[in-house]
Structure 1
Amino acid sequence: MTGSHRDAGYHVWAVAGLPEVRKGDDLARLIADAAPDLADGDVLLVTSKIVSKAEGRVVEAADREAAIDAETVRVVARRGPLRIVENRQGLVMAAAGVDASNTPSGTVLLLPEDPDASARSIRDGLRDALGVEVGVLVTDTFGRPWRTGLTDVAIGAAGVRVTDDLRGGQDAHGNPLTATVVATADELAAAGELVKGNTAGLPVAVVRGLPHLVTAQDGRGARELVREARDDMFRLGTSEAVREAVTGRRTVRSFTDEPVDPQAVRRAVAAAVTAPAPHHTTPWRFVLLESPESRTRLLDAMRDAWIADLRGDGKSEESIAKRIRRGDVLRNAPYLAVPCLVTDGAHTYGDARRDGAEREMFVVATGAGVQNFLVALSGERLGSAWVSSTMFCRDVVREVLDLPADWDPMGAVAIGHPAGEPRPRPERDADAFVEVR
Structure 2
Amino acid sequence: MSEPSYRVWAMPGLPEVRPGDDLAKLIAATEPGLVDGDVLLVTSKIVSKAEGRIVEASDREAAIDAETVRVVARRGVLRIVENRLGLVMAAAGVDASNTPAGTVLLLPLDPDASARAIRVGLRDALGVDVGIVITDTAGRPWRTGLTDVAIGAAGVQVLDDLRGGTDAHGNPLSATVVATADELAAAGDLVKGKTGGLPVAVVRGLPHLVTEAPAGARSMVRSAADDMFRTGTSEAVREAVTLRRTVREFTDEPVDPGTVRRAVAAAVTAPAPHHTTPWRFVLLESAESRTRLLDAMRDAWIADLRGDGFSEESIAKRVRRGDVLRKAPYLVVPCLVTDGSHTYRDDRRNAAEREMFVVAAGAGVQNFLVALAGERLGSAWVSSTMFCREVVREALDLPPDWDPMGAVAVGHAAAPPRERAGRNEGDFIAVR
Q: Distance in 1 between matches of 2:84 and 2:17?
A: 24
Q: Distance in 2 between matches of 1:173 and 1:88?
A: 43
Partner of 2:220: 225
State the Cα deviation string for residues 275-323 of structure 1 (Å, max 9, x = none): 99xxxxxxxxxxxxxxxxxxxxxxxxxxxxxxxxxxxxxxxxxxxxxxx
Partner of 2:140: 144
How many Å apart are 1:174 and its aligned residue?
Answer: 1.3
Counterpart pick for 1:161 among 146, 157, 160: 157
2:36 maps to 1:40: yes
**Cα pair 1:141 1:150 within 8 Å, conserved:** yes
2:232 maps to 1:234: no
Counterpart pick for 1:101 among 97, 100, 104: 97
Q: Distance in 1 between matches of 2:140 and 2:30?
A: 33
Q: Distance in 1 between matches of 2:123 and 2:234?
A: 49
Count residues in correspondence: 253
Relative to 1, partners in 2 of residues 1:35 and 1:8: Cα closer, same or farther, differing over 3 Å? Answer: farther
Q: Could you say what secondary structure the match of 1:66 adopts? A: helix
**Cα pair 1:45 1:205 within 8 Å, conserved:** yes
Q: Distance in 1 between matches of 2:133 and 2:126?
A: 18
Identity of aligned residues (%): 81
How many Å apart are 1:9 and its aligned residue?
Answer: 1.5
Partner of 2:390: none
**Unaligned 5+ residue runs, structure 1?**
1-5, 243-274, 277-350, 369-435
State the Cα deviation string for residues 311-343 of structure 1 (Å, max 9, x = none): xxxxxxxxxxxxxxxxxxxxxxxxxxxxxxxxx
Partner of 1:292: none
Q: Distance in 1 between matches of 2:51 and 2:183?
A: 26
**Cα pair 1:153 1:185 within 8 Å, conserved:** yes
2:92 maps to 1:92: no
Q: Distance in 2 between matches of 1:222 and 1:50?
A: 18
Q: Could you say what secondary structure the match of 2:5 adopts? A: strand
Q: Could you say what secondary structure the match of 2:188 adopts? A: helix
Q: Could you say what secondary structure the match of 1:23 adopts? A: coil
Partner of 1:75: 71
Q: Could you say what secondary structure the match of 1:162 adopts? A: coil
**Cα pair 1:32 1:130 within 8 Å, conserved:** yes
2:155 maps to 1:184: no
For 1:374-389, what aligned pairs fall within 5 Å after superposition? none
Counterpart pick for 1:116 among 90, 112, 115: 112
How many Å apart are 1:238 and its aligned residue?
Answer: 6.3
Q: Distance in 2 between matches of 1:73 and 1:239?
A: 23
2:24 maps to 1:28: yes
State the Cα deviation string for residues 353-385 of structure 1 (Å, max 9, x = none): 66x969x98xx99xx9xxxxxxxxxxxxxxxxx
Q: How big is the alpha-carbon RMSD for the aligned residues of Structure 1 and Structure 2? A: 2.9
**Cα pair 1:77 1:238 within 8 Å, conserved:** no
State the Cα deviation string for residues 107-126 of structure 1 (Å, max 9, x = none): 00000010000000000100
Q: Could you say what secondary structure the match of 1:9 adopts? A: coil
2:21 maps to 1:12: no
How many Å apart are 1:236 and its aligned residue?
Answer: 3.2
Relative to 1, partners in 2 of residues 1:111 and 1:60: Cα closer, same or farther, differing over 3 Å? Answer: same
Q: Distance in 1 between matches of 2:136 and 2:36?
A: 24
Write the letter of the residue equivalent to 2:43: T
Q: Could you say what secondary structure the match of 1:139 adopts? A: strand
State the Cα deviation string for residues 80-138 of structure 1 (Å, max 9, x = none): 00000000111000000000000000000000010000000000100100011100000
**Unaligned 5+ residue runs, structure 2?**
238-269, 272-345, 364-400, 403-432
Write the letter of the residue equivalent to 2:140: R
The normalised TM-score by structure 1 is 0.54
Partner of 2:121: 125
Write the letter of the residue equivalent to 1:227: R
Partner of 2:413: none
**Cα pair 2:11 2:32 within 8 Å, conserved:** no
For 1:12-411, what aligned pairs fall within 5 Å after superposition? 12-217=8-213, 219-236=214-231
Q: Could you say what secondary structure the match of 2:172 adopts? A: coil
Q: Distance in 2 between matches of 1:152 and 1:17?
A: 22
State the Cα deviation string for residues 239-289 of structure 1 (Å, max 9, x = none): 9976xxxxxxxxxxxxxxxxxxxxxxxxxxxxxxxx99xxxxxxxxxxxxx
How many Å apart are 1:173 and its aligned residue?
Answer: 1.5
